[in-house]
Structure 1
Amino acid sequence: MKAESAGTWLLLDAGNTRVKWALADADAPLGQWRVQGAMAHGLLDTLIAEWQAAGIVPARVLAANVAGGGVRAAIEGALRVCAPAAAVEWFAAVPSRAGIVNGYANPAQLGCDRFAAAIGVRALVPGRPVVIANCGTATTVDAVTADGTFIGGMILPGLRLMSGALARNTAQLPQIDAGTVLPPTFADNTHDAILSGCLAAQAGAIERAVGALGGAACIISGGAAPLIAPALNVPARHVDNIVMLGLHAALLAGEMGETC
């Protein structure tokens, strides 16, 4: 196994259902990874073996975690084995970083994933107002102004949560599968009507945000983005792993928070 050079960074996005990771050279352009991967929370006991097989020995680690203490502990255990000498930072929302001013009433209460996503879109679309729709377990729809101020956003159940609630509470109607073919707006069966309604709700929130932030670009990300993006009536750019891109942009900006 060949160890990585001292100029490599490990980026970690621990979301509500999966942990995603990517290894980047310190001088690599935004979003260019040496190697990347993802695993469900239930498989985190295999993380050490996966990282060792991939030769993950970074000099620096930046991790965003919204999944709680158990997931953080599993990641920390893997880092102690695979990257014992690395400088590790647990990314958090702060008043300002990497060109983004955090406009939350209490900046520390903003989810670290949403703050990272804002940094990511600022790097991708500088100098324009942008709406970020991150469509995962929850759907977050956030706004960044042209001068780089995160002004706030919306949080709603993700597509699976929304459709699953209907499935559980309407005589066990079928739950929506992520690979379902998109139905027409006015569906002629109950299964498709559930999906059509949930898609309309998700798309409507995003469109409302774009309309409220006049002239805004729209970036959509997350596991449900391929289903939701075609339902939008506004132009949107699909970007994979916007949180990971934001973490990378934060490191490229040359700023670092407290390490642990």
Structure 2
Amino acid sequence: MLLLIDAGNTRIKWGMLELPTAASPALPVWESVGSIGHEQLPDLAATLAMAPPITQILVSNVAGAKVSEALTAALAEIAPDVVPAWFSSAPQLAGLHNGYRNPLQLGCDRFASAIAAHALYPQQNLIVATCGTATTIDAVSAEGVFHGGMILPGLKLMAQSLARNTAQLPQVAESISVDDVFADNTDQAIVSGCIGAQLGAIERAVTKWGLAQKSPVTCILSGGAAPYLAAHMDVQYQHIDNLVLTGLYHAAKAHNNVNTH
């Protein structure tokens, strides 16, 4: 059994499935998936105590050294005989060429998301928008080249910078309709502005990438804040859950395929 872990800035997601082979589908068939907050990391071993035997572990971590240490301790309890592999960006992997100026500097979560998007939508020009603590918006060509992207504060960070009603952000965000862009109260005006900024960046990226490639663009939307943006999108999009985990799955699939030939 393969255990994949996406340690983000706010939450840690995990997915478990059979070891992939060359014949495995592009969209992983999860045995189980889940997520926990950083404060729940000591409970991860108990959460996975009844899991089938784990033979491989692949981790993407952008949450820093403390989370890495806590994860290492938890994984030692979960699968003491398995040495976790720590995913990192590379010049090329799983059918994706990394066009970053310094390929190793690209955040491993962005690289994994781009791998997943290209695997799920091959031979398509893509904008990959992952909306979490930060929002990252990246361009991938139909030929499988990661061209670069942009990083901006996520929806909640934007709202927190204005220090009003952030505890109720989801409820406020869901209550705004396209017709209510110009809100008649401060709380909704803040959230409407934040949503507009997120959408503006994503939609501008889709337009610019389409012009650059002289071809239609598929927009991939993922991340915890994606549902709050999806209803307001003015461009066509595909909403994919667990995009980083899916990228890790394809990285593991490529690795296993190479090592069996």
- Work out whether the TM-score is over 0.5: yes
| CA distance in 1 between partners of 2:6 and 2:127 (Å) | 20
Alignment equivalent of 1:200, drawn from 196, 199, 224: 196
- After superposition, the C-alpha distances for 1:92-126 in whole angstroms (9 at most, x for unaligned) are 00100001111111111100000000000011100
Q: What letter matches 2:75 in structure 1?
A: L
> Which consecutive unaligned segments of at least 5 residues does structure 1 have?
1-7, 168-172
Q: Match for residue 170 of structure 2?
A: 178
Query: 1:10–1:62: 8 Å Cα contact kept in structure 2?
Result: yes
* Root-mean-square deviation (Å): 1.6
Inter-partner Cα distance in structure 2 for 1:152 and 1:218: 15
The aligned length equals 244
Q: Is the 8 A contact 2:169 2:191 kept in 1?
A: no
Q: Secondary structure at the match of 1:117?
A: helix
Q: Check whether the contact 2:125–2:217 (CA below 8 A) recurs between aligned residues.
A: yes
Deviation, structure 1 residue 251: 1.4
- 2:109 corresponds to 1:106: no
Q: Report how far residue 189 of structure 1 moved.
A: 0.9
Look up the equivalent residue of 2:170 and give its one-letter code: A
Structure with bigger helix share is: 2
Shift of residue 88, structure 1, vs aligned partner: 2.0
Q: Is the 8 A contact 1:97 1:255 kept in 2?
A: no
| Deviation (angstroms), 1:56 | 4.9
SS in 2 for 1:179: helix
After TM superposition, what 4+ stretches of structure 1 lie above 4 angstroms from structure 2? Answer: none
Question: 1:14 is aligned with what amino acid?
Answer: A
Deviates more, 1:13-22 or 1:174-183: 174-183
Among 44, 49, 54, the residue aligned to 1:47:
44
Could you tell me how far 1:182 is from its partner in structure 2? 3.5
Q: TM-score, normalised by structure 1?
A: 0.90
The DSSP-based 3-state class of the residue aligned with 2:17 is: strand
Give the structure-2-normalised TM-score. 0.90
Would you say 1:209 and 2:205 are equivalent positions? yes
Task: State the 1:87 CA deviation.
Answer: 4.2
Say whether 1:224 aligns with 2:225.
yes
Identity among equivalent pairs (%): 47
Pairwise CA distance, 1:84: 1.8
Q: Secondary structure at the match of 1:43?
A: helix
Q: Structure 1's 255 and 145: CA in aligned 2 closer, same or farther, altered over 3 A?
A: farther
Shift of residue 179, structure 1, vs aligned partner: 3.0
Distance 1:198 1:90, change over 3 A: same
Deviations 1:16-75 (A, max 9, x none): 0111101111245332111111100011111111111x3253111111000011111111
